Amino acid sequence: MPDAVSLHGLLLPIRKAFNQYANIRPHRLLPGIEGPLKAEGFDILCIRENTEGEYSGAGGRVHQGKENEVAVETSVFTRAGVERILRFGFEQARARRGHLTSVTKSNAQKYSMVFWDEMTRQLAAEYPEVTVSQMHIDAMAAKMVMAPESLDVVVASNLFGDILTDLGAAIQGGLGFAASANICPDGSGPSMFEPVHGSAPDIAGQEIANPIAAIWSGAMMLDHLGEAGAASGIMGAIEAATRQGIGIRPGSHSTTEITDAVIATLEARA
Protein backbone atom coordinates (compact mmCIF):
# COMPACT_ATOMS: atom_id res chain seq x y z
CA MET A 1 0.00 0.00 0.00
CA PRO A 2 1.42 3.45 -0.89
CA ASP A 3 2.48 5.48 2.14
CA ALA A 4 0.12 8.33 1.26
CA VAL A 5 -2.88 5.97 1.42
CA SER A 6 -2.12 4.60 4.89
CA LEU A 7 -1.18 8.05 6.20
CA HIS A 8 -4.20 9.96 4.90
CA GLY A 9 -6.56 7.00 5.21
CA LEU A 10 -5.77 6.05 8.78
CA LEU A 11 -3.17 7.87 10.87
CA LEU A 12 -3.97 11.49 10.06
CA PRO A 13 -7.77 10.98 10.35
CA ILE A 14 -7.26 9.42 13.81
CA ARG A 15 -5.17 12.37 14.98
CA LYS A 16 -7.68 14.89 13.66
CA ALA A 17 -10.86 13.09 14.76
CA PHE A 18 -9.67 12.76 18.35
CA ASN A 19 -8.08 16.22 18.50
CA GLN A 20 -4.61 14.78 19.14
CA TYR A 21 -2.96 18.04 18.22
CA ALA A 22 0.24 17.57 20.25
CA ASN A 23 2.76 15.03 19.03
CA ILE A 24 5.43 14.47 21.68
CA ARG A 25 8.72 12.79 20.82
CA PRO A 26 11.49 12.49 23.44
CA HIS A 27 15.02 12.22 22.12
CA ARG A 28 17.78 11.26 24.53
CA LEU A 29 20.59 8.77 24.70
CA LEU A 30 19.81 5.81 26.93
CA PRO A 31 22.60 4.44 29.18
CA GLY A 32 25.20 2.48 27.23
CA ILE A 33 24.17 3.87 23.86
CA GLU A 34 26.47 5.93 21.72
CA GLY A 35 24.63 7.49 18.83
CA PRO A 36 26.34 8.01 15.48
CA LEU A 37 27.04 11.65 16.39
CA LYS A 38 26.82 11.88 20.16
CA ALA A 39 27.74 9.84 23.24
CA GLU A 40 26.28 12.31 25.74
CA GLY A 41 24.58 15.68 26.02
CA PHE A 42 21.51 14.75 23.99
CA ASP A 43 18.13 15.27 25.67
CA ILE A 44 15.54 17.09 23.56
CA LEU A 45 11.76 17.01 23.77
CA CYS A 46 10.22 17.71 20.36
CA ILE A 47 6.65 19.01 20.23
CA ARG A 48 5.10 18.74 16.77
CA GLU A 49 1.79 20.27 15.69
CA ASN A 50 -0.23 17.23 14.70
CA THR A 51 -3.52 18.15 13.03
CA GLU A 52 -3.05 20.98 10.52
CA GLY A 53 -0.22 22.88 8.87
CA GLU A 54 1.42 21.19 5.91
CA TYR A 55 -0.47 17.91 6.46
CA SER A 56 -3.96 19.37 6.49
CA GLY A 57 -4.84 17.70 3.19
CA ALA A 58 -6.04 20.87 1.48
CA GLY A 59 -5.36 20.80 -2.26
CA GLY A 60 -5.84 18.64 -5.29
CA ARG A 61 -4.75 17.62 -8.79
CA VAL A 62 -6.28 18.46 -12.14
CA HIS A 63 -5.54 17.38 -15.73
CA GLN A 64 -3.82 14.26 -14.44
CA GLY A 65 -1.51 12.61 -16.95
CA LYS A 66 -1.58 15.59 -19.31
CA GLU A 67 1.13 18.09 -20.08
CA ASN A 68 -0.75 20.81 -18.23
CA GLU A 69 -1.22 18.75 -15.05
CA VAL A 70 -1.31 20.81 -11.87
CA ALA A 71 -0.88 19.69 -8.24
CA VAL A 72 -1.65 22.07 -5.38
CA GLU A 73 -1.02 21.40 -1.69
CA THR A 74 -1.98 24.17 0.71
CA SER A 75 -0.72 24.52 4.27
CA VAL A 76 -3.35 25.62 6.78
CA PHE A 77 -2.36 27.46 9.96
CA THR A 78 -5.13 28.68 12.25
CA ARG A 79 -4.69 31.03 15.17
CA ALA A 80 -6.27 28.48 17.50
CA GLY A 81 -4.08 25.67 16.20
CA VAL A 82 -0.82 27.59 16.37
CA GLU A 83 -1.56 29.10 19.77
CA ARG A 84 -2.46 25.81 21.43
CA ILE A 85 0.61 23.91 20.24
CA LEU A 86 2.91 26.76 21.22
CA ARG A 87 1.25 27.03 24.61
CA PHE A 88 1.66 23.29 25.08
CA GLY A 89 5.36 23.68 24.23
CA PHE A 90 5.77 26.51 26.73
CA GLU A 91 4.17 24.39 29.45
CA GLN A 92 6.54 21.52 28.69
CA ALA A 93 9.55 23.85 28.75
CA ARG A 94 8.47 25.29 32.09
CA ALA A 95 8.33 21.76 33.53
CA ARG A 96 11.77 20.86 32.15
CA ARG A 97 14.82 23.12 31.85
CA GLY A 98 13.04 26.35 30.97
CA HIS A 99 14.07 26.79 27.34
CA LEU A 100 11.86 26.71 24.25
CA THR A 101 13.03 26.81 20.64
CA SER A 102 10.36 27.60 18.05
CA VAL A 103 11.24 26.45 14.54
CA THR A 104 9.99 28.10 11.35
CA LYS A 105 11.19 29.26 7.94
CA SER A 106 9.84 32.78 8.22
CA ASN A 107 12.46 34.35 5.99
CA ALA A 108 11.00 32.42 3.04
CA GLN A 109 7.39 31.69 4.07
CA LYS A 110 6.26 35.22 4.74
CA TYR A 111 2.68 34.50 5.75
CA SER A 112 2.30 31.23 7.67
CA MET A 113 5.70 31.17 9.33
CA VAL A 114 5.78 34.90 10.10
CA PHE A 115 2.38 34.36 11.73
CA TRP A 116 3.87 31.48 13.77
CA ASP A 117 6.76 33.71 14.88
CA GLU A 118 4.37 36.46 15.93
CA MET A 119 2.32 34.02 18.00
CA THR A 120 5.51 32.76 19.66
CA ARG A 121 6.48 36.26 20.73
CA GLN A 122 2.98 37.02 22.01
CA LEU A 123 2.86 33.90 24.16
CA ALA A 124 6.41 34.39 25.42
CA ALA A 125 5.16 37.39 27.42
CA GLU A 126 2.97 34.98 29.44
CA TYR A 127 5.93 32.74 30.28
CA PRO A 128 8.69 35.06 31.53
CA GLU A 129 10.44 32.15 33.23
CA VAL A 130 10.99 30.40 29.86
CA THR A 131 13.86 31.47 27.64
CA VAL A 132 12.69 31.56 24.02
CA SER A 133 14.70 31.13 20.84
CA GLN A 134 13.38 31.31 17.29
CA MET A 135 15.28 29.43 14.60
CA HIS A 136 14.88 28.61 10.94
CA ILE A 137 14.48 24.94 10.11
CA ASP A 138 17.79 24.66 8.26
CA ALA A 139 19.75 26.25 11.11
CA MET A 140 17.87 24.02 13.55
CA ALA A 141 18.91 20.87 11.71
CA ALA A 142 22.52 21.97 12.00
CA LYS A 143 22.09 22.85 15.68
CA MET A 144 20.72 19.39 16.49
CA VAL A 145 23.83 17.85 14.96
CA MET A 146 26.46 20.30 16.19
CA ALA A 147 25.17 21.52 19.56
CA PRO A 148 22.16 19.52 20.79
CA GLU A 149 23.12 20.12 24.41
CA SER A 150 21.93 23.72 23.94
CA LEU A 151 18.37 22.57 23.20
CA ASP A 152 15.58 21.67 25.59
CA VAL A 153 12.04 21.79 24.17
CA VAL A 154 11.63 22.24 20.42
CA VAL A 155 8.24 23.11 18.93
CA ALA A 156 7.54 23.02 15.20
CA SER A 157 4.86 22.66 12.55
CA ASN A 158 3.62 19.31 11.28
CA LEU A 159 6.16 18.97 8.47
CA PHE A 160 9.15 20.54 10.19
CA GLY A 161 8.45 18.56 13.36
CA ASP A 162 8.21 15.36 11.36
CA ILE A 163 11.61 15.91 9.76
CA LEU A 164 13.37 17.09 12.91
CA THR A 165 12.15 14.15 14.96
CA ASP A 166 13.52 11.64 12.45
CA LEU A 167 16.84 13.45 12.74
CA GLY A 168 16.53 13.27 16.52
CA ALA A 169 15.80 9.54 16.33
CA ALA A 170 18.91 8.99 14.23
CA ILE A 171 21.10 10.88 16.71
CA GLN A 172 19.73 8.89 19.64
CA GLY A 173 20.66 5.62 17.93
CA GLY A 174 17.92 4.91 15.40
CA LEU A 175 14.17 4.54 15.02
CA GLY A 176 14.22 1.56 17.36
CA PHE A 177 14.65 4.03 20.24
CA ALA A 178 12.11 6.63 19.05
CA ALA A 179 8.89 6.72 21.06
CA SER A 180 6.00 9.09 20.51
CA ALA A 181 2.67 10.22 21.90
CA ASN A 182 -0.27 11.76 20.05
CA ILE A 183 -1.93 13.74 22.83
CA CYS A 184 -5.36 15.28 23.15
CA PRO A 185 -4.37 17.65 25.98
CA ASP A 186 -7.88 18.75 26.99
CA GLY A 187 -9.12 15.17 27.39
CA SER A 188 -11.99 15.59 24.94
CA GLY A 189 -10.78 12.51 23.09
CA PRO A 190 -8.38 9.62 23.64
CA SER A 191 -4.65 9.91 23.08
CA MET A 192 -2.56 7.47 21.06
CA PHE A 193 0.94 6.14 21.70
CA GLU A 194 3.18 4.54 19.10
CA PRO A 195 6.81 4.03 18.14
CA VAL A 196 7.89 6.50 15.47
CA HIS A 197 8.77 3.68 13.07
CA GLY A 198 5.17 2.45 12.94
CA SER A 199 4.46 -1.22 12.30
CA ALA A 200 7.62 -1.73 10.18
CA PRO A 201 6.00 -4.38 7.94
CA ASP A 202 9.18 -4.83 5.90
CA ILE A 203 10.88 -6.56 8.85
CA ALA A 204 7.86 -8.20 10.52
CA GLY A 205 8.55 -11.64 11.94
CA GLN A 206 12.31 -11.48 11.45
CA GLU A 207 13.18 -10.92 15.12
CA ILE A 208 15.35 -7.92 14.22
CA ALA A 209 13.05 -5.08 15.26
CA ASN A 210 14.14 -3.20 18.37
CA PRO A 211 11.13 -3.19 20.75
CA ILE A 212 12.46 -0.38 22.96
CA ALA A 213 10.57 2.36 21.10
CA ALA A 214 7.30 0.47 21.52
CA ILE A 215 7.96 -0.21 25.22
CA TRP A 216 8.98 3.42 25.78
CA SER A 217 5.73 4.53 24.10
CA GLY A 218 3.88 2.33 26.59
CA ALA A 219 5.66 4.09 29.44
CA MET A 220 4.56 7.44 27.99
CA MET A 221 0.99 6.16 27.92
CA LEU A 222 1.12 5.15 31.59
CA ASP A 223 2.56 8.54 32.53
CA HIS A 224 -0.25 10.26 30.60
CA LEU A 225 -2.81 8.16 32.49
CA GLY A 226 -1.38 9.27 35.82
CA GLU A 227 0.57 6.08 36.52
CA ALA A 228 3.90 7.84 37.01
CA GLY A 229 5.34 5.08 39.18
CA ALA A 230 4.62 2.37 36.62
CA ALA A 231 6.00 4.55 33.83
CA SER A 232 9.18 5.19 35.80
CA GLY A 233 9.54 1.47 36.47
CA ILE A 234 9.34 0.62 32.79
CA MET A 235 11.84 3.31 31.84
CA GLY A 236 14.14 2.05 34.58
CA ALA A 237 13.91 -1.47 33.17
CA ILE A 238 14.71 -0.23 29.66
CA GLU A 239 17.72 1.66 30.99
CA ALA A 240 18.90 -1.36 32.96
CA ALA A 241 18.85 -3.43 29.76
CA THR A 242 20.77 -0.90 27.67
CA ARG A 243 23.23 -0.32 30.52
CA GLN A 244 24.09 -4.03 30.21
CA GLY A 245 24.65 -3.58 26.48
CA ILE A 246 21.41 -5.27 25.46
CA GLY A 247 19.84 -3.89 22.31
CA ILE A 248 22.21 -0.96 21.98
CA ARG A 249 23.23 -1.73 18.39
CA PRO A 250 21.21 -3.01 15.42
CA GLY A 251 21.49 -6.78 15.26
CA SER A 252 23.20 -7.18 18.64
CA HIS A 253 20.15 -8.87 20.17
CA SER A 254 16.86 -10.21 18.88
CA THR A 255 13.48 -8.65 19.55
CA THR A 256 12.69 -11.39 22.07
CA GLU A 257 16.04 -11.10 23.86
CA ILE A 258 15.60 -7.35 24.39
CA THR A 259 12.01 -7.78 25.53
CA ASP A 260 12.95 -10.58 27.93
CA ALA A 261 15.70 -8.44 29.46
CA VAL A 262 13.27 -5.61 30.16
CA ILE A 263 10.68 -8.00 31.62
CA ALA A 264 13.29 -9.70 33.81
CA THR A 265 14.21 -6.37 35.39
CA LEU A 266 10.56 -5.51 35.98
CA GLU A 267 9.92 -8.88 37.65
CA ALA A 268 13.05 -8.57 39.79
CA ARG A 269 11.95 -5.17 41.07
CA ALA A 270 8.31 -6.17 41.63
CB 50 within 8 A of CB 22: yes
**Catalytic-residue membership of 162:** yes
**Catalytic-residue membership of 105:** yes
Q: What's the rounded Cα separation, in Å, for the pair 265 and 239?
A: 10
Catalytic residue among 43, 117, 166, 260: 166
Q: What's the rounded Cα separation, in Å, for the pair 264 and 270?
A: 10
Catalytic residue among 105, 127, 152, 223: 105
Strands (E) in the chain, as ranges, are: 22-28, 43-49, 53-62, 70-76, 99-104, 131-136, 153-156, 179-183, 192-195
**Catalytic-residue membership of 66:** no
Side-chain-side CA neighbours of residue 4 (13 Å): 3
**Catalytic-residue membership of 21:** no
Residue of 248, 241, 181 whose CA lies nearest to 210: 248
Catalytic residue among 21, 55, 127, 223: 55
**Catalytic-residue membership of 117:** no
Catalytic residue among 21, 127, 152, 162: 162
Residues recognised as catalytic: 55, 105, 138, 162, 166
